[in-house]
Chain A
Amino acid sequence: MSSETKKYRVLGTRPRRHDGVEKVTGSAIYGGDVQLPGLLSGFILRSPHAHARITSIDTSEAEAMDGVFAVISGKDFPEVADKIADLGEGSINLSYLSDNVMAKKKVLYKGHVVAAVAAVNVHVAEEAAARIKVEYEVLPSVTWVMDAMQDDAPLLHENLCTDHMGEKDEKPSNIAVHMHFEKGDVEEGFAKADVVVEHEFKTATVHQGYIEPHVSVADWTTSGRLKIWTATQGAFTARQQTAEILQIPISDVVVTPCEIGGGFGGKIAVYVEPVVALLSKKSGRPVKISMTREGVFEGTGPTPGSFIRVKIGATSDGKLVAGEAWLAYDAGAYPGGMIGPGCMCVFSCYDFEHAIVDGYDVCMNKPHTQAYRAPGATQVAFATEQVIDEIAEQLGICKLEIRQLNAAKEGMRRVDGPVYPRIGLVECLDAVALSDHWKSPLEGENRGRGIAAGFWFGCGLKSSVSVSVNHDGTVNLTEGSPDIGGTRTSIAMQLAEVLGIDTFDVNPQVADTDSVGYTDVTGGSRVTFATGMAAYEAGLDLQKQMVQRAAELWECSADEITVEEGEFKGPGENASFKELAQELFKDGKPLVARASVAPDCATNGFAVHIVDVEVDPETGKVTILRYTAIQDAGKAIHPSYVEGQMQGGVVQGIGWALNEEYFFNDNDTMDNASFLDYRMPTILDVPMIDTIIVEVANPDHPYGVRGVGEPPIVPPPAAIANAISEATSTRLFDLPMSPPKVWKALSETS
Chain B
Amino acid sequence: MPIVFIPAQLKSLTGGVSQVEMEADNIRQVIEQLEQQFPGIRDRLCDGDELAPTLQVSVDSSMGSRGLRTRVADAREVHFLPVIGGG
What residues of B have a CB within 8 angstroms of the CB of A417 in the complex? 5, 7, 58, 77, 79, 81
Q: Is the CB of B83 within 8 A of A91?
A: yes
Interface check B82, CB cutoff 8 A: yes
- Assess whether A601 is in contact with B61, with CB atoms less than 8 Å apart: yes
Contacts of A91 in B (CB 8 A): 53-54, 83
Check B87–A165 contact: CB distance below 8 A: no
Does B62 contact A458, Cβ atoms closer than 8 Å? no
A132 within 8 A of partner (CB): no
With CB as the reference atom, state the residue of chain A lying closest to B11: A182
How many B residues touch the partner, as a band? Answer: 20 to 34
Which residues of chain A have C-beta atoms less than 8 A from B86's C-beta?
89, 265, 371, 373-375, 456-459, 523-526, 710
For B81, what are the chain A residues with a Cβ–Cβ distance below 8 Å? 340, 344, 416-418
Q: A356 to chain B: closest CB distance in Å?
A: 8
B29 CB to nearest chain A CB (Å) = 19
For B5, B8, B45, B52, the residue with the greatest tally of chain A CB atoms inside 10 Å of its CB is B8
B34 at the interface (CB under 8 A from A): no
B36 within 8 A of A: no
Asked if B65 lies at the interface with its beta carbon under 8 angstroms from chain A, I say: yes
Q: Is the pair B9, A90 in contact by a Cβ cutoff of 8 Å?
A: no
Residues of A within 8 A of B87 (CB): 208, 263-266, 268, 303, 370-375, 523-524, 710
* Contact yes or no, B53 A165, CB < 8 A: no
B28 within 8 A of A: no
Expressed in whole angstroms, the Cα–Cα distance for A340 and B58 within the complex equals 14
Q: Are A418 and B79 in contact (CB under 8 A)?
A: yes
Once A371-B86, A524-B86 are accepted as A-B contacts, the answer to whether A600 and B62 lie under 8 Å apart by CB is yes
Scan residues 303-360 of chain A and give those whose CB is less than 8 A from a CB of chain B: 303, 339-341, 343-344
Residues of B within 8 A of A602 (CB): 61-64
Q: Is B10 an interface residue (CB 8 A)?
A: yes
The docked-state distance in angstroms from the alpha carbon of A694 to that of B47 is 42
* A418 B77 Cβ-Cβ under 8 A: yes
Nearest CB of B to A94, in Å = 11
Give the distance in Å from the alpha carbon of A89 to the alpha carbon of B82 in the complex.
12
Contact of A166 among B43, B59, B63, B83 (CB under 8 A): B43
Bound complex: CA A304 to CA B68 (Å): 31
Question: If the complex has contacts A90-B84, A524-B85, are A416 and B61 also in contact, measured as CB distance less than 8 A?
Answer: no
Judge whether A554 is part of the interface by a CB distance below 8 angstroms.
no
A738 to chain B, nearest CB (A): 24
B85's partner among A89, A180, A208, A416 (CB-CB below 8 A) is: A89
Which residue on B lies nearest to A418, using beta carbons? B58
Q: How far is the CA of A421 from the CA of B77 in the complex (A)?
A: 13
B44 interface residue per 8 A CB criterion: yes
Report A162-221 residues with CB < 8 Å from chain B CB. 163-167, 177, 179-182, 208
B63→A165 contact, CB < 8 A: no
CA distance A416 to B6 in the complex (A): 11
A34 beta carbon closer than 8 Å to chain B: no
- A459 in contact with B58 (CB, 8 Å): no
Q: Please tell me if the beta carbons of B44 and A166 are within 8 angstroms of each other in the complex.
A: yes
> How near does chain B come to A680, taking the closest CB pair, in angstroms?
17
A86 at the interface (CB under 8 A from B): yes
Q: Which residues of A contact B9 (CB under 8 A)?
A: 164-165, 179-180
Of the residues A165, A265, A268, A710, contact of B7 by C-beta under 8 Å: A165
Contact residues in A for B64 (Cβ distance below 8 Å): 459-461, 600-602
Chain A contacts to B: CB under 8 angstroms: 84, 86-87, 89-91, 163-167, 177, 179-182, 208, 263-266, 268, 303, 339-341, 343-344, 370-375, 416-421, 456-461, 523-526, 600-602, 710
Enumerate chain B interface residues (CB-CB to A < 8 A): 5, 7-10, 43-45, 47, 52-54, 58-66, 77, 79, 81-87
21 contacting pairs across A/B (C-beta < 8 A): A84-B47, A89-B85, A91-B54, A164-B9, A166-B10, A182-B8, A265-B87, A303-B87, A339-B82, A344-B84, A417-B7, A418-B60, A418-B61, A456-B86, A457-B84, A460-B64, A523-B86, A524-B86, A524-B87, A601-B64, A710-B86
Q: A374-B86, A418-B79 are in contact. List 14 more A-B contacts (CB 8 A).
A: A87-B85, A163-B54, A177-B54, A181-B8, A266-B87, A340-B81, A371-B86, A373-B87, A417-B79, A417-B81, A457-B63, A524-B86, A600-B63, A710-B87
